[in-house]
Structure 1
Amino acid sequence: MRRLWVGAVVVALVPLLGAPAEAALRSPLLSEGVLPLPQGITSVELQDINDSGQIVGTGYADSARALLWQGDTVTQLGLGSPSGINNLGQVVGTMYVSGSSGTYERTPKVWQGGTESVLAGPSRSYVSTGDITDSGIVAVTYPSSVQGYHMENIGLWQNGGFKRLAAPTSGPHVSLGIVTENGTAAGTFLPMFGGESYAFRCGAQGCARLAANPGGTGQPIPSAANDNGVVVGNQSGVGLRWEGTQVTALPALAGAGDATVSGNRQALNKRGDVVGVSGGRATLWRDGVAIELGSPAGGQSAAVAVNDLGDVVGWSKTPDGAQTRVFLWRAGRSYDLGSASATNVTPVALNNTGTIIGSGSTPGSPQVLLRWTVRPPR
């Protein structure tokens, strides 16, 4: 049966800054702090966190380095840029190889337990990896030769082997960055010289185009997918949800003219919750209803990620826009988690056991890496 989406809006009751102390005492925040940086690393791009609290990111110095945080200890895994980590502690990513003139190569790798393994693929080329599932499935995009960087091919690594997938249309540029635990994958196709761009989904029966949004223009870009085959993403500022053979534009909040899905890999959870922004306000779409999550800091806000428990993390600005803070929405209430002494912060991800990661800036430092620990829901 086709699910009908309605434009009804539920507004959450949110304690704002200056609320009674009793409300503040109910905050689930347990701790906040700054992640350590390895010596010589000048900047870091945080990427992912697993349910054990292990965090991965790319550190930059003379070259890109894969970094892993476990508690307050940070380890350099080796040269490369991680793209994901699973709950077994397997980290996937690529290492750029500097070759002779006219060659482009990125070697795909998995790091685990102090060892580094190169993923065997169809050929040497400029490989791009996505996330890695707990069963070790990795989404891969790659060109036809080491002399090219126009992405033309997609596939999945699993159980030590590689399986090439046939995209609905051949040729560049194709991208496959999303994969779920049951092997559902999603990507997008953008022709090099004009023509129609589209989003697609791959499963046991192969890859097929996702339905086009009526009247939609521009390139549809999937953000996330779940094991039920649901895919969410955006097309020219319109948030979309694909389920089965249907596509639905997400409803806007009351008084808002727009609704867009977060570009984060955690924009969708297992039960089908979707997060993003509508009218400059953080928004959760649950069972077809747009729910405003509020702004504890009092200004604009946006929802970034949702975990499988239904917790949502996002950011909210002060009314003057001078500071951006992190908030957690849980069971109808938004909690200000602060900025861990940074001026402006942006959350990156959260796990199912109460850890949130993000990055920020301070007047004396261009970048700080941050971690918040919250009490798990009861």
Structure 2
Amino acid sequence: MSIKITSIMALVATLACLTHTPAYAVGNFYTIKDLGAIGDGTLSWASGINQNGQVVGHNYASHAFLYSNGSIGDLGTLGGGYSDAYGINGSGQVVGGAYTAGNAARTAFLYSNGTMSSLGTLGGTNSAAYSINNNGQVVGEANTAVYNSCCSFTSHAFLYSNNVMTDLGTFGGSDSRAFGINNSGQIVGGAFTADNTAYHAFLFSNGAMSDLGTFGGTRSEAFGINSNGQVVGIAQSLDNTAYHAFLYSNGTMSNLGTLGGTNSFAISINNNGQVVGESDTVGNSARTAFLYSNGAMSDLNSLLNQGSGWTLLEANGINDLGQIVGMGTINGQSHAYLMTPTAVPVPAAAWLFGSGLLGMAGFVRKCTTRLETRK
């Protein structure tokens, strides 16, 4: 886009237009820390962060890790070979899924005070925990004792509170799962409808499961919720050909768009309304991490120093300080990262005005999101 200023009125009009354009100027707004990897050092993945900057995820050896006070620790397993950590609360309690001895089963765990404990199931074999709030309430999914038509256990969303695992049910269909819980006990996830032909995002509040709908398609799922009750996730378009990130707020589901490609996925939202996730880029040639803030979706890579060496692929968590965690590539390896803001990204118009570059307003608007649930 090229702008030629021919009068004071044109200048005022142009600046007003640009100020309302939801795009950000490229700049070094974040520092980034490589969280490395336990084991051979080639792979790690960060899935959650609390307000204290503690980070959880898994490493190359497929063990859950906790990054705290500058060091990364292996949380081990429940006797088997693998574990994954997905959520952490303000007290440093961690939840995830871990295999038992002989890798016979994978069950939800709570890691607290240096000990990993199994949370059990709903009568079946496997379970996994995805989020924990500051009251110690945990949500996830667990097998029931019921077999579905595919001869495997059904899996239902659960709430674990006061040492009791409660089945949250479905919309009448076979399966459901819960991904997020806020400090008020509101829970989000996804569940099948009665005929199992549709799978919809839900908000569970005051003992009832509400259907958040879709963008006209048959599938949606919610992954994060903040203390204000704002929900993020994915929803299909009318023709079921694309998933787009959504923000559900005050009873309305808004489409956050993409970064030019087909699909996007919103994973996490902080109490300031900032959203992170993944999006396809133009031509669907790549998928990249995004930050949605102040009405604009930006490629996280554009907010790093251009010489950082990183390519950020996933953004999976954001805290109220604006710190972001996820996975990217560095030196040909896939590593977990922790991004910390050093400055507030400025709307492109303000950057151009401050720089005196009134004859150049070239910037790209980007949008994004994605979900990948690891089991």
What TM bracket, shorter-length normalisation?
Answer: 0.5 to 0.7
Structure 2 residue 21 is the aligned partner of structure 1 residue 11: yes
The answer to whether the Cα contact below 8 Å between 1:302 and 1:314 also exists between their aligned partners in 2 is no
The alpha carbon displacement at 1:95 in A equals 0.9
The alpha carbon displacement at 1:314 in A equals 5.1
1:183 corresponds, among 182, 185, 194, to: 185
Structure 2 residue 335 is the aligned partner of structure 1 residue 368: yes
Please give the root-mean-square deviation of Cα atoms over the aligned residues, in Å: 4.0
1:345 corresponds, among 304, 312, 326, to: 312
The alpha carbon displacement at 1:114 in A equals 1.8
The alpha carbon displacement at 1:74 in A equals 1.5
2:126 and 2:312 mapped to 1: Cα distance?
33
1:274 and 1:261 mapped to 2: Cα distance?
12
How many equivalent pairs are there?
311
**Match of residue 237 from structure 1:** 243
1:185 and 1:54 mapped to 2: Cα distance?
22
The alpha carbon displacement at 1:315 in A equals 2.8
The alpha carbon displacement at 1:70 in A equals 1.8
2:212 corresponds, among 190, 207, 210, to: 210
1:94 and 1:274 mapped to 2: Cα distance?
25
**Match of residue 144 from structure 1:** 144
Structure 2 residue 226 is the aligned partner of structure 1 residue 262: no
The answer to whether the Cα contact below 8 Å between 1:35 and 1:72 also exists between their aligned partners in 2 is no
1:221-252: per-residue Cα shift (whole Å, max 9, x none)? 223323444333322434544456x4444376
The answer to whether the Cα contact below 8 Å between 1:315 and 1:347 also exists between their aligned partners in 2 is no
The answer to whether the Cα contact below 8 Å between 1:259 and 1:277 also exists between their aligned partners in 2 is no
The alpha carbon displacement at 1:41 in A equals 5.4
**Match of residue 129 from structure 1:** 129
The answer to whether the Cα contact below 8 Å between 1:184 and 1:202 also exists between their aligned partners in 2 is yes
Within 5 A, what are the aligned runs for 1:185-200? Answer: 185-190=187-192, 195-200=197-202
Name the aligned partner's letter for residue 207 of structure 2. Answer: Q
2:157 corresponds, among 149, 154, 157, to: 154
1:314-344: per-residue Cα shift (whole Å, max 9, x none)? 536xxxxxxxx252xxxxxxxx3446333x2
Name the aligned partner's letter for residue 222 of structure 1. Answer: A
**Match of residue 327 from structure 2:** 359
**Match of residue 255 from structure 2:** 250
**Match of residue 109 from structure 1:** 109
The answer to whether the Cα contact below 8 Å between 2:266 and 2:278 also exists between their aligned partners in 1 is no
Corresponding residue SS for 1:360:
strand
The alpha carbon displacement at 1:88 in A equals 0.8
| Structure 1 residues 149 and 127: alpha-carbon distance in aligned structure 2, compared to 1, 3 A threshold | farther
The answer to whether the Cα contact below 8 Å between 2:107 and 2:121 also exists between their aligned partners in 1 is no
**Match of residue 78 from structure 1:** 76
The answer to whether the Cα contact below 8 Å between 2:131 and 2:140 also exists between their aligned partners in 1 is no
1:313 and 1:77 mapped to 2: Cα distance?
34
1:300 and 1:42 mapped to 2: Cα distance?
21
The answer to whether the Cα contact below 8 Å between 2:256 and 2:297 also exists between their aligned partners in 1 is no
The alpha carbon displacement at 1:155 in A equals 1.7
The alpha carbon displacement at 1:351 in A equals 2.7
1:331-366: per-residue Cα shift (whole Å, max 9, x none)? xxxxx3446333x22352333335433433245x43
Corresponding residue SS for 2:197:
coil
Name the aligned partner's letter for residue 115 of structure 2. Answer: T
Name the aligned partner's letter for residue 230 of structure 2. Answer: V
The structure, 1 or 2, with the larger RCO (C-alpha pairs under 8 Å, 6+ apart) is 2
More helix by share: 2
The alpha carbon displacement at 1:72 in A equals 3.2
The alpha carbon displacement at 1:49 in A equals 1.6
Aligned residues with identical type, % of pairs: 21
1:369 and 1:68 mapped to 2: Cα distance?
12
Corresponding residue SS for 2:45:
strand
Query: What are the ranges of 5 or more consecutive residues in structure 1 without an aligned counterpart?
Result: 1-8, 17-23, 282-298, 317-324, 328-335
